[in-house]
Structures are given as structure tokens and as C-alpha cells.
Chain A
Amino acid sequence: MPIATKEDIAQRVHEALVEFGAEPGAIVPEARFELLDVDSLDLVELAQIAEDDYGVQIATEDLKRIETVGQAVDLIAERAG
């Protein structure tokens, strides 16, 4: 699996959130998931994408701690690194 940069991961997270139905223009690092109408089911899917694309394991407990787009990108990048 090639090394992913944080920018790569941010782009992939953005794509996933758009796919989930979030308004593209509202997806910024500080955006809170609840305001994007992204819920816990979406976050489980995001974790599955992180595992598929970056080999990163994100547990349900981890998901409870992330509240913003930036926190999700940071978590995936940290584990991918």
C-alpha cells in the first residue's frame, strides 16, 4: 500500500463525506459532523474506507471521540503514518 500524505487522506475523507450526502462547501476541517448531517452510521463507513484504503484500524471507541472533519483526518493520518 503506497504511503498516503495527509492531503491525500483529507481529499479521501472529503470524497466520502460528499458521498454520504454532506454539502461539499460545508466540509471544512473545523466542521462538526452533526452540522454536516453525518451520523454514527456514516462514521462506521468512514472507518471501513480508512481500513480499505490505508490499512488503518479504527475502533468504535475511537469514533466516539472524533467530532470534526479535521479530527477524522488527523486520526487516520496518525494511524496511517
Chain B
Amino acid sequence: MSRRVVVTGVGAVTPLGVGAEPLIERWAAGECGIVDGLGGCRDFDAAVLLDRRSARRADRFTQLALVAAVEALAQAGWADGAPVPPERAGCVIGTGIGGIGTIEDQHDRLRDSGAAAVSPLGVPLLMSNAASGAVAMSHGLKGQCFGTVSACAAGAHAVGAGLRMIQHGDADACVVGGAESALTPLAMAAFAAMAATSPTGVSRPFDARRDGFVMGEGAGVLVLEAEGAARARGATPLAVLSGYGATADAHHITAPEPSGDGAARAMRAALADAGRAPADVGYVNAHGTSTPLNDRSETAAIKAALGEHATTVPVSSTKSAIGHLLGAAGAVEAVATVLALRRGIAPPTVGWEQRDDDLDLDYVPDSGRALTRNGHAPVALSNSFGFGGHNAVLCLEAA
């Protein structure tokens, strides 16, 4: 059993604002939500956007997911409940780290006041599956529910897991996404210690001057449904999630395999899953972290996967507009890709100016451009790669 799966709703909270529209609108306009070297969700106020009980029972990463989910479900027409039996609706939300802000706060309490001062909400807030559990509870989703944990590929793995769940018939719909809020002293110090983050605080994916990623926070949520059921109830598909491929580098705990072989295999697998060929691809939403290693190996991977077509395909990264949202990145970028396809545009790699040796793809400098159609609806790949050697690629097509 394999069914076509469509996206019927999207939601996002990012440094460009609360909502999926500000994300695509501002990114397409070449704007950047990074301030003082950090991609914080400055417009996000849980006290305003969530009820008191939900807010205090959720770490910030879960709060972000809850708000993105409300938006996505409303767009899908699920505001009054899922259109399928609750037991047929799944929920998979990934995260890279989980509730690290809670861990740091509770560790302060333990150190300063002893074990008795540690909150009974510590575990339910910090656990990495908290966002999936909270979103499922908020909306009565009673099918398969879990979190995916694969660093910066977690959001894409969550989307892929939901796709397989529906294709295989384990569910008729699945709310998927990713959430991260790790702009905390410990997380920032730890990423800086490994020289992963930009010492200049500037994200410039694929640019010769790139010197690391800029940390960001946020959440992206998508509602996936079996196409037949979605159309039968009169839902408007925003895009088709036509393929998914995932692989491991098995090379190094943080460095990508230099040839990009693992990433290329994931891209090929996603295309094969979708029944598409390299020539069909009209846009690649790159992982594009702005680290020296990723952007070089990803460029090699795109060339390996798309062959002679690689240089003709616009490749852009969302990360210089919002920062690197770690475990949320894959889901937020899937949301952005869905909306780019709907608008028929390839948004720009904001800030790209200087070509690096061997990084010779079309990184969409300056401003976005129209997607070319080779006689069919545009097909896009969204790449996500994570520390640990995780590669997850989604294939999305205009509905």
C-alpha cells in the first residue's frame, strides 16, 4: 500500500516572525531576522499566544511547536478537530536537543538549593519528545506519536516518518514538524567551543567568507494527509510530499563526508521515491549552514545527485535569513519550500556575494527568481543534514 500524500496546512514561528507567511514573504524579499548574531524569535510571546497552563507546562521549544501547530491545523481546516478518526492521526515532531533551557534552569536550582528545589515539571519540560506529546494532546491526535532526534536533520526525519506512516496505511493523516530553542548559555558555548558557529555572527551560506552558522530558534509544522481523503473532504492541497530519502555518512561524529556521498544518496533516494529524475528538479532548498565544511560537501553532493543538471538548478539556503534552527530547520525549510513552490519562486541565499573555489552552483544571489517549469509542476528537494552523519531529504511538488 502506497498512497500519495499532500500537505494541507503549514505553520511556522521563526526569527522572521510568527507565522508561515512572514517567513516566505520576508525571506523572498531578501530580509534577515538575525540580530546581533542570533536568530531569536523576538516576536514570540508565549504568554500572549498560549494559555497559562499550556505555556508553563512547556519548554520554549514546545511552546514554539504548539503555536506553529495551531496555525498549520487551522490552515488545513482542522480547527474543530481532525477530519479522520483520532486513532488514524499521527504526530511526529523532531528536535535536536529538546528542553535545554529547562535543563540549565533546573541544574541551577539543584546546584543552588538542592534536590528538593528541582521542579516536578523538569522532566516533562526537558524531554525531547515533549513537543510531539504536547501537540498530540492539544489536538487529540491518538495515532503514532513520537519525536525524532537526529540533530539538524530531525525536522526532516519527522516529515519523512509521517509520510511513510500515511503511505503505509498506519495513519490517514499526520501532524509533523520540528522545534528548537537552544539559544542558551550552555548550548551556545558548546557550539562555539567546537568552532561550529560563526565568530563574526554572520550567516553566509556558500559564500567564500562563510565562517560558521548562526544559531536560531523556531518551529515548523506541516499537516500531511492521504491525498484521496484530503481531496474528498474538499481540502486544498498546498503541495505534494512525493518523496523521502534518508542515509547515514558513517564517517565522523560531526564532519560531513567530504565527497557528499551520504547526502547524495539521500537526494537520489528521495527522487527515486518520488519517481522523479534529476532533470525534473527545479529547485533545491539547501541545508546550507554557512560552515566551511557543509557548504562544500553539500555542493559536491548536489553535483553527484543531479549530475549535469546541477548547475542549472537554483540552490538557496534559508539559513542566512533565519539562522540555523537545528532540529527545527528541516521542518521550517520544508514549510518554506512548500510556500516557495506555491509562489513559483526560488528565494535567494540572502547575503551571498563572493564565489568560493569549486562552489560553482547557482546559489540565487541578490533576489529570488521564478522557478522554471520543464513542462510539469516544479519539483523541489529540501536537504537536511545533522551531526552524527544523518542525511534526510524531502521531495516536494506543487499541488
Contacts and interface: CB of A to CB of B under 8 A. Distances in A.
Contacts of A51: 116
A19 B124 contact: no
Contacts of A3: none
B53 A20 contact: yes
A21 B52 contact: yes
Contacts of A21: 51-54, 56-57
B121 A45 contact: yes
Contacts of A37: 53
B312 interface: no
A19 B57 CA distance: 11
Contacts of B119: 45, 48
Contact of A48 (B51, B53, B56, B116): B116
B117 interface: yes
Nearest to A18: B52
A19 B52 contact: yes
A18 B52 CA distance: 9
B275 interface: no
Interface string B31-56: 00000000000000000000111101
B51 A41 contact: no
Interface residues of A, number: 11
Interface in B108-138: 116-117, 119-121, 124
A19 B120 contact: no
Nearest to B123: A41
Contacts of B124: 41
For the residues of A in contact with B, the DSSP-based class is helix
B116 A41 contact: no
A51 to B, nearest CB: 7
Contacts of B117: 48
Interface string A50-78: 01000000000000000000000000000
A52 B325 CA distance: 38
A67 B257 CA distance: 59
Interface string B243-266: 000000000000000000000000
Interface string A7-19: 0000000000011
A26 interface: no
A48 B109 CA distance: 12
A44 B56 contact: no
Contacts of A48: 116-117, 119-120
A45 B57 CA distance: 12
Interface in B343-360: none
A47 B297 CA distance: 54
Contacts of A45: 119-121
Nearest to B51: A21
B108 to A, nearest CB: 15
A20 B56 CA distance: 7
Interface in A25-59: 37, 40-41, 44-45, 48, 51
A40 B117 CA distance: 16
Contacts of B116: 48, 51
B284 to A, nearest CB: 45
Contacts of A19: 52, 56
A20 B119 CA distance: 13
Contacts of B57: 21
Contacts of B56: 19-21
B47 to A, nearest CB: 12
A41 B124 CA distance: 10
Interface string B44-73: 000000011110110000000000000000
B308 to A, nearest CB: 59
Contact of A44 (B51, B53, B54, B120): B120
6 contacts: A18-B52, A19-B52, A20-B56, A21-B52, A45-B121, A48-B117
Interface of B: 51-54, 56-57, 116-117, 119-121, 124
Interface of A: 18-21, 37, 40-41, 44-45, 48, 51
